[in-house]
Amino acid sequence: MSIISKIQQRLRRDYYRWLHQKASRGILETPPLKPGTLPFTLLSMVQKRDVLAYLVALKSFAAFACPQRVVVVCDPSIDDADRKMLQSHVPHIELRAADEFTHPDIPRGGTWERLLAICDYARDTYVVQLDADTVTVDRPQEVLQAISRRVGFVLGEAPEQTLITLPMTSANAQADPDGQKHIQGYAEACMSQVGLPADALYVRGCSGFTGFPPSVGMREALVHFSNCMARKIGRQRWSAWGTEQITSNYLVANAAGTQVLPHPKYGTPDVMNSDTAFIHFIGSLRFVSDRYEKTSRKVIGQMKESALLPSLSA
């Protein structure tokens, strides 16, 4: 790619990011979220730059699945003004500092603290992990069923995706030398050789939207998995960005009754269609077009209209 093309690409991303930030401010004109009746905890890790996007993600999801508890693991960048904003829109929110969730055998940074927080809350409640760069546009029926049945769910990468064995995981990764240049492919290639249970499963999913049934042993499983992988590939490499998603994929694959959500009903903006209910605007696709801005603006408009209905019918 030429220098001019790179500059043009950067300018386009900056423009679409600006459009999205402008649209997201509309979430501040929507009513505060009330505690829900569905028995689960919605947990996210949020940094300062994503507070408005998180409120869009939270409120658009809660419009269909309003949780009893809402927890935010606060990145160190979250300041008092951010906390005040979050509390004004979610009065019952539980704000936790990231450094509350650490373990001597677990890497620090990235989303490791979030994963440890999920393990803590999942001791006695169902936990849904929701990324800030997501928008729910229709009823997520499969998710509601999973919460009701107390079984796991995970966001997949392709249609007809299923959970697979660790030998199959390693075989798939070893057949893709280019994929092994990334930590995920490299870790998956050796996963069957690190001393994990013979009947363990894995899924190449996305940790951005994941459902974890109650489990008293998930924290111990996390530590065991992390230690096994670190001994095999080295603790320094195991602390790289992306190892948290590998661990999340392993944990949810071995949770009770886990299913991979149907794709592209739950997917990324490049595959969305008229049946799509949930969109994850992952980094590489977030600001390449105005889809994120338009989708956010649409759901915010629907929230405002819903807020007016009671007064219109009075």
DSSP the chain: --HHHHHHHHHHHHHHHHHHHHHHGGGGGSPPPPP-SEEEEEEEEE-GGGHHHHHHHHHHHHTTS-EEEEEEEE-TT--HHHHHHHHHH-TT-EEEEGGGS--TTS--STTHHHHHHHHHHTTTSEEEEE-TTEEE-S--HHHHHHHHHT--EEE-SSTT---EEHHHHHHHHHT-TTGGGSHHHHHHHHGGGS---TT-EE---EEEEEEE---TTHHHHHHHHHHHHHHHH-HHHHTSTTHHHHHHHHHHHTSTT-EEPPTTTEE-TTT--TT--EEE--HHHHTSSSHHHHHHHHHHHHHHHHHHHHHHH-
* Contacts of the segment 185-192: beta carbons below 8 A, 24+ positions apart: 186/233, 186/237, 187/229, 187/233, 187/238, 187/243, 187/246, 188/246, 190/232, 190/233, 191/166, 191/229, 192/165, 192/166, 192/167
User: How many domains, the chain?
Assistant: 1
Which pLDDT does position 312 carry in this prediction? 40
Tell me, yes or no, whether 224 lies in a domain. Answer: no
Tell me, yes or no, whether 223 lies in a domain. Answer: no
Tell me, yes or no, whether 296 lies in a domain. Answer: yes
Which pLDDT does position 314 carry in this prediction? 35
Which pLDDT does position 313 carry in this prediction? 36
Residues of the chain with pLDDT below 70 are 309-314
Which pLDDT does position 37 carry in this prediction? 94
Tell me, yes or no, whether 67 lies in a domain. Answer: yes
Q: Which domain range does residue 77 map to?
A: 3-152+208-213+259-313
Tell me, yes or no, whether 180 lies in a domain. Answer: no
Tell me, yes or no, whether 190 lies in a domain. Answer: no
Which pLDDT does position 26 carry in this prediction? 98
Which pLDDT does position 311 carry in this prediction? 46
Tell me, yes or no, whether 170 lies in a domain. Answer: no
Which pLDDT does position 310 carry in this prediction? 54
Distance from C-alpha of 177 to C-alpha of 241, rounded to nearest angstrom: 20
Which pLDDT does position 5 carry in this prediction? 85
Tell me, yes or no, whether 194 lies in a domain. Answer: no
